[in-house]
Amino acid sequence: MPEGHTIHRAARNQNKWFKGKVLEMRSPQGRFADGAARLSGQKLTKVEANGKHLFYRYMDSGDVLHVHLGLFGKFKIRKPPFPEPSPNARFIAWTDEAQLHLAGPTACELLTPEGMDAIKARLGPDPLVAGVNGAEQIHQKLARRKSPIGRALLDQSVIAGLGNVYRAELLFLVGLHPFTPANEVPLEKISELWDLSVTELKIGEKSGRIVTVDPAEMGKPSRAKLTRYERLYCYKRAGKPCRRCGDTIVSAEVDSRKIWWCPTHQPLTA
DNA sequence: GTGTCATGCGTAT
DNA sequence: TACGCCTGACACG
């Protein structure tokens, strides 16, 4: 389930197990055989997350492993005794203590540091990178865009790390209709959106799932007590009542991705 | 068991 | 705008 929170969580977890360690590596599926052969036996300096991208730094050689999970990619961390890797594993990498198992990524490639910088350069601010305030930057990028804010939020060069779930939920939380022209969203609203992104993605990174609903509104004591059907306000809730006002959640397609909103909380003419 | 859809994105048209 | 890539979950029968 890869939006930015998943990627940062993966980096944190993988650093815990593999940072500073010499990793053996191979590609059961074969599509990363050359890369695995090159990296195998190298010491992994650290894992960095930026938006939905992961960069594995090998400072001794300068090699960078770039992974993007896309829609289907998944990591597993396994403890010994290691089970047989699935034949479709793009790579497995391991020490004596743990094994990292990757399947189904959109990107798994070797880069130079320059190649990594080029990818980072085209990403907008990432709410999960500490110490960044992206509001001004985002506002400037949107200044000349008449296209809908609902499209802009999935553009990784505007803001890095949001996916379709956070898009719908954040727009609900700030009360913006997804079809609002991006350049008509005032800086204060962008600021609100940015701050909420930080808050919500942090919650997602900690818990490992996207939970935007305030548990008190559902009469629950904590986020952890919410059922899978109670965690979101809008995403995939077409035809259901808004949790706050009871109006019917509606949906539409933007660039062949679905989006959901509450007509009352997110009027087009705000 | 089969079919559809999905938290993504690059490339071709 | 459409398609291809890649996998797993779930609805349906």
Helix H or strand E encompassing A100? strand A99-103
Confidence band of A1 (pLDDT split at 50, 70, 90): low
Q: Is the CB of A106 under 7 A from strand B?
A: yes
Dihedral sign computed on CA atoms, order A113, A119, A123, A127: negative
> Rounded to two decimals, what is the model's pTM?
0.96
Q: What average pLDDT is seen over chain A?
A: 95
Task: Measure, in angstroms, how far nucleotide B4 C1' is from residue A43 CA.
Answer: 43
Task: Measure, in angstroms, how far nucleotide C1 C1' is from residue A178 CA.
Answer: 20
Per-residue confidence (pLDDT) for residue A169, from 0 to 100: 97
pLDDT at A261 over 60: yes
* Chain C nucleotides with an atom closer than 7 Å to a protein C-beta: 1-3, 5-8
* Chain B nucleotides with an atom closer than 7 Å to a protein C-beta: 6-10
- Quick: pLDDT tens for A170-199: 999 999 999 999 999 999 999 999 999 999
Q: Is the CB of A70 under 7 A from strand B?
A: yes
Contacting residues 157-176/A vs strand C (CB within 7 A) = none
Q: Which residues of A are catalytic?
A: 2-3, 52, 257
What are the residues whose beta carbons fall under 8 Å from the beta carbon of A233, sequence distance 6 or more? A168, A169, A172, A173, A212, A213, A242, A243, A244, A262
Q: Could you name the CATH architecture of A4-121?
A: Alpha-Beta Barrel (3.20)
Confidence band of A3 (pLDDT split at 50, 70, 90): very high
**C-alpha–C-alpha distance, residues A23 and A39, integer Å:** 8
Domain edges within chain A: 4-121, 135-261
pLDDT at A201 over 60: yes
Q: For residue A221, how many other CB atoms are within 10 A of its CB?
A: 9
Please give the class, per CATH, of domain A135-261. Answer: mainly alpha
Report which of residues A68 and A227 the model is more confident about.
A68
- Judge if A4-121 and A135-261 fold alike in CATH terms: no
Per-residue confidence (pLDDT) for residue A13, from 0 to 100: 96
- Quick: pLDDT tens for A113-152: 999 999 999 999 999 998 889 999 999 999 999 999 999 9
Q: List for chain A the helix, strand, coil content (%; round to 5).
A: 30, 20, 45
**C-alpha–C-alpha distance, residues A60 and A75, integer Å:** 25
- Quick: pLDDT tens for A42-55: 999 999 999 999 99
Confidence band of A228 (pLDDT split at 50, 70, 90): confident
Per-residue confidence (pLDDT) for residue A91, from 0 to 100: 96
